[in-house]
Amino acid sequence: MLKAVLFDMDGVLVDTEELTFRAAQNMFAEHGITVTQEDFRPFIGTGENSYIGNVALKYNFPVDIPRDKERMYKIFGELAKGNLKALPGVHQFIDACRVRRLKLAVATSADYIKMMINLNETGLRKEIFDVLVNGQEVINKKPHPEIYLTTAAKLHLQPEECLVVEDAVNGIEAAKAAGAKCLAVTNSFSREELGKADWICDSLVHCPVAALDW
């Protein structure tokens, strides 16, 4: 029986893909390196360490993760001001979960600072959620299931009692490896790429009823 919904953040609750790329692009540009959006695509949903670290590796750049990630987040925060809002259907979907008395959690690979920028800029108050888990609280990033196992444990539930809402291939693999069911939203990848999810929708406005009624 479904008891909780675990939300990935970027691409599920809020569309940050473009701003995250621009922040990373600007950070790399300050080091004289020109990067493309396609460089980052394989690392969407794996956390910023992987996101910038793997692209730095491609360009043989000796990245300093703490320094360069801090700079990227500073740029991201500046870009985000007045430019972020919850994706279509998010508020209605949360209301539908509350009507069913489901617990709610955020489980994001992003660091705490980015998670709070997203929540504050979109008006999604942290009090809406029973649990918030960010990438700094786990060792293994998606597609490893650790973040969803950790989030379920903090809710005092089994992963089998949880629905994960994801937009990325790595996230779906993490959810399924944890033993949770998964609803995928085609905000970042195609239906074909997200095919391992239990349900797929183009927007939370059109969430399959079955995803919340099991």
Separation of alpha carbons 58 and 76, rounded Å = 22
| pLDDT for residue 94 | 97
- Take residue 98 and report the two structure tokens written for it: 């509350």
- Asked whether residue 201 falls in the same domain as residue 103, the answer is yes
CB-side exposure of 127: number of CA atoms within 13 Å? Answer: 1
Q: How does DSSP classify residue 103?
A: E
Please list the active-site residues. Answer: 8, 10
How far apart are the two ends of the chain, measured CA to CA in Å?
6
- Asked whether residue 96 falls in the same domain as residue 52, the answer is no
| pLDDT for residue 106 | 98
Q: How does DSSP classify residue 160?
A: G
CB-side exposure of 122: number of CA atoms within 13 Å? Answer: 25
Domain count, the chain: 2
| pLDDT for residue 211 | 97
- Take residue 97 and report the two structure tokens written for it: 């979960």
- Asked whether residue 156 falls in the same domain as residue 192, the answer is yes
Separation of alpha carbons 203 and 27, rounded Å = 31
- Asked whether residue 8 falls in the same domain as residue 22, the answer is no
CATH code, domain carrying 162: 3.40.50.1000
- Asked whether residue 63 falls in the same domain as residue 92, the answer is no
Separation of alpha carbons 71 and 5, rounded Å = 32
- Take residue 9 and report the two structure tokens written for it: 């953040």
| pLDDT for residue 136 | 94
- Take residue 149 and report the two structure tokens written for it: 């196992």
- Asked whether residue 46 falls in the same domain as residue 90, the answer is no
Separation of alpha carbons 78 and 190, rounded Å = 30
**Boundaries of domain holding 76:** 17-80
| pLDDT for residue 3 | 98
| pLDDT for residue 188 | 87
Q: How far is CA 132 from the centre of its chain?
A: 12
| pLDDT for residue 46 | 84
> In a structure prediction context, what are the per-residue pLDDT tens digits for the chain, which is 214 residues long?
999 999 999 999 999 989 999 999 999 999 999 999 999 999 987 888 999 999 999 999 999 999 999 999 999 999 999 999 999 999 999 999 999 999 999 999 999 999 999 999 999 999 999 999 999 999 999 999 999 999 999 999 999 999 999 999 999 999 999 999 999 999 989 999 999 999 999 999 999 999 999 9
| pLDDT for residue 47 | 82
